[in-house]
Amino acid sequence: MSLKEKTQSLFAEKFGYPATHTLQAPGRVNLIGEHTDYNDGFVLPCAIDYQTVISCATRTDRTVRVIAADYDGQQDEFSLDVPIVTHPSQQWSNYVRGVVKHLQKRDNTFGGADLVISGNVPQGAGLSSSASLEVAVGTVFQQLYHLPLDGTQIALNGQEAENQFVGCNCGIMDQLISALGKKGSALLIDCRSLGSKAVSMPEGVAIVIINSNFKRTLVGSEYNTRREQCETGARFFQQKALRDVNIDQFNAVAHELDPVVARRVRHVLTENARTVEAADALEKGDLQRMGVLMAESHASMRDDFEITVPQIDTLVAIVKTTIGDKGGVRMTGGGFGGCVVALVPEALVPAVKEAVAAQYEAKTGIKESVYVCKPLAGAGLA
The reply, when asked if residue 297 is annotated as ligand binding, is no
SS3 258: coil
Q: Which residues contact 91 (CB under 8 A, 6 or more apart)?
A: none
Handedness of CA 121, 122, 123, 126 (dihedral sign): negative
The reply, when asked if residue 223 is annotated as ligand binding, is yes
The reply, when asked if residue 162 is annotated as ligand binding, is yes
Q: Which residues contact 61 (CB under 8 A, 6 or more apart)?
A: 111, 112
The reply, when asked if residue 128 is annotated as ligand binding, is yes
In angstroms, the CA 18 to CA 30 distance is: 36
In angstroms, the CA 58 to CA 20 distance is: 8
In angstroms, the CA 283 to CA 279 distance is: 6
The reply, when asked if residue 364 is annotated as ligand binding, is no
Active site residue 70: no
As a whole number of Å, the CA-based R_g of the chain is 21
Q: Which of 114, 174, 286, 313 is catalytic?
A: 174
The reply, when asked if residue 71 is annotated as ligand binding, is no
| Nearest Cα to Cα of residue 334 among 151, 174, 187 | 174
In angstroms, the CA 107 to CA 125 distance is: 33
The reply, when asked if residue 37 is annotated as ligand binding, is yes
Contact (CB, 8 A) for 177 and 192 = no
Q: How far is the CA of 81 from the CAs of 62, 87, 137, 218, 268, in angstroms?
A: 7, 16, 19, 32, 44
Contact (CB, 8 A) for 57 and 63 = no
The reply, when asked if residue 36 is annotated as ligand binding, is yes
The reply, when asked if residue 9 is annotated as ligand binding, is no
| Binding residue numbers for ATP | 124-130
Catalytic residues: 174
Q: Which residues are documented as binding site for substrate?
A: 34-37, 223
Query: From the annotation, which residues make up the binding site?
Result: 34-37, 124-130, 162, 223
Q: Indicate the annotated binding residues for Mg(2+).
A: 130, 162
